[in-house]
Amino acid sequence: MTQVSLMEQAKSGSPTAIAALINRSLRTKGIEATVALEEECLKILLESAQVPPVTLVSGIQKGLTQLESESWKRVEIYGRQKGEAIPDWTRSFESNATCFEVPDPKTPLTSIAPAFAKPELPSQQPLQQHLAKWQIPALVLTSVAAVVVVGWSLVYVQRDIAALMRKQQAPTGLSQENIKSHEAALAEAERELRTDSNNHEAWYRKGQALAGLNRHSEALSAYEKATEINPADFAAWSGRSLTLRRLGYDDDALLAADKALEINPKFAEGWKDRCGALFTLNRSTEAVAACDQAIKLKPDFPQAWYNRGLVLVQMGQYEKAVSDFDQATQVKPNYGGAWRAKSATLAMLQRFEDALAASDRALQAEGPIGEVWLVRGHILASQQRYEDAMQAYTKALRTNEDRNSVTVAQIVLKRKWQWYREATANQDTRRQTQLKQAGIWYYQASLLSYTVANSQELNLMALDKAVQIDPKDVDAWNSRGWNLSDLGRYEKALASYDKATQVDPEFGWAWYNRGLLLETLGRYEEALASYDKAIQAGSFPAVERTKRELLQKLGR
């Protein structure tokens, strides 16, 4: 997570921030919330040892209304006992509803089951053995994949609840030419299906077209229909795997890839899909082995080279990763994602000119999309090219959906730029060198976060070097606290925030982040004291709202 106000992140539609806000109140009651946002619908899953009371819905609605967010139009809330697969209740309302009557909590499940219960097709023995061992993973603040095994059927109980997409897996930017091509393919597939609704190949092509248009939930339904009609359609299983991964269903994606390979072990696409699913599940060694097999079967397979490169970045093997990205772009010269990943990885190796050249190629291939400009800004900031970096961030702000991350990057850059100006004015060459070297490591952590998932350990290695070189780098201490908190190392996270506030007692972000963590840990008086410090530092309005909410919760 970033330094930006949690309340502001929630208002902008961040599921992680919304979950954090809800959990601040509910965790003391033994209830955990997980949140996802897809297609203007906010999904909230509540879990606890006992069935969460449906009366919580009105309070959650009130809190969401206070955010005054325009990021969603509909809200769905599910309550489930831990260890169970199917929710005990579900409630929904429109975001503009002025009041909400909580229905009878004894409403039978059968009256709401059609909203999320959909049987799958029969499977074969190897998949059954796999499913028999499968357990729903522990919930984290970034995603949830809820699946239940019913006989031989997979029931996607909360498909949309788990719709948190990995940034590096989602298609970024669609040209008008591509849109027209996918729409034409979709229209043709639908014409064929009107003639023969059991044409599994047409369902597959429909899924391909919908996926190309970023309509992933619809694509998944089309792929499911294809495999229902023809369970041996390994290409459709492959489409299911990739689409499930884009929707955040990593365990399901692995199962679908395995099913494709069970049908056709020599299917390179299936091995690539298996690599991708294992990658997002943080099973790096297995992911590399799967990509190795894909490349062995199909050496001119750019996506397999790209996937393996991402895994190698996740493993800290940057030189090998660059080599794989090179292979991907040699096979497919306009592969924007590979150029973007290559540019970030070259910067991690401090090959900055090569990194900018790769960034130029990414812009040529992908167009002026926000993530390319954001990565380019980090590369330029690493070289202390502050003005150029600010221009890149400004362009990123115009085209990037994640505006909070760009805004944070701009604020951090302004601070580092000011430090450098002061060192230059004082002719302090030692300080200038210190700022440059620490900045390289700080921005390496930023680049890692935008290249691969689950990079907290690598981030910490880079941030540790940054604060060793420049113990006054409050942004590095603050980012270090966030990464430690994400890993559940709360006391070390607090120590990192403490270090930031010792260096700069007026650093409101660190005081606020410290308060949020203390409140999450139930240390309310300390949290209030931290919020007060943030307010005294002239921080942002969200701090006062957060403090007021905590006082209300404490009955003050």
pLDDT tens-digit readout, 450-486: 787 778 889 999 999 999 999 999 999 999 998 999 8
H or E segment to which residue 155 belongs: strand 153-156
pLDDT of residue 50: 77
pLDDT tens-digit readout, 166-211: 333 344 455 567 788 889 999 999 999 999 999 999 999 999 999 8
For residues 117 and 86, the answer to whether their CB atoms sit within 8 Å is yes
Report the predicted TM-score, pTM, of the whole model to 2 decimal places: 0.65
pLDDT of residue 66: 77
Instruction: Taking residues 29-51, report their average pLDDT.
Output: 82
pLDDT of residue 518: 93
pLDDT of residue 358: 93
Output the average pLDDT for the chain.
Answer: 80
- For residue 554, give Cα distances in angstroms to 27, 33, 63, 547, 548: 14, 20, 16, 11, 10
Query: How big is the chain by its Cα radius of gyration, in Å?
Result: 24
- For residue 25, give Cα distances in angstroms to 21, 32, 519, 522: 7, 10, 9, 10
The residues, ordered by sequence, that sit 6+ positions from 36 with a Cβ below 8 Å of its Cβ are: 15, 42, 43, 143, 144, 160, 161, 162, 163, 164, 248
79 has which bridge partners? Answer: 46, 89
CA 556 – CA 553 distance, rounded (Å): 8
Angle subtended at Cα 49 by Cα 42 and Cα 513, rounded to the nearest 5 degrees = 55
The least confident of 68-82, 193-207, 290-304 is 68-82
Instruction: Taking residues 113-125, report their average pLDDT.
Output: 28
pLDDT-derived band of residue 387, with 50, 70 and 90 as boundaries? very high
The residues, ordered by sequence, that sit 6+ positions from 265 with a Cβ below 8 Å of its Cβ are: none
Write down the residue that tokens 């559940």 correspond to.
Answer: 488
For residues 546 and 7, the answer to whether their CB atoms sit within 8 Å is yes
246-266 per-residue burial string, b: 16 or more CB within 10 A, e: under 16: bbbbbbbbbbbbbbbbbbeee
H or E segment to which residue 524 belongs: helix 524-536
Residue 80, Cβ neighbours under 10 Å: how many? 22
One DSSP character per residue, 47-83 reads EESSPPPTTHHHHHHHHHHHHT--S-SEEEEEEEETT
* 147 three-state secondary structure: strand
Residue whose C-alpha is closest to residue 269's, from 278, 277, 257: 257
pLDDT of residue 96: 62
Residue 407, Cβ neighbours under 10 Å: how many? 19
Residue whose C-alpha is closest to residue 167's, from 347, 375, 308: 375
pLDDT tens-digit readout, 524-548: 999 999 999 999 887 667 788 888 8
For residues 450 and 344, the answer to whether their CB atoms sit within 8 Å is yes
Write down the residue that tokens 């459709």 correspond to.
Answer: 236
The least confident of 225-234, 527-536, 545-554 is 545-554
Write down the residue that tokens 């041996």 correspond to.
Answer: 232
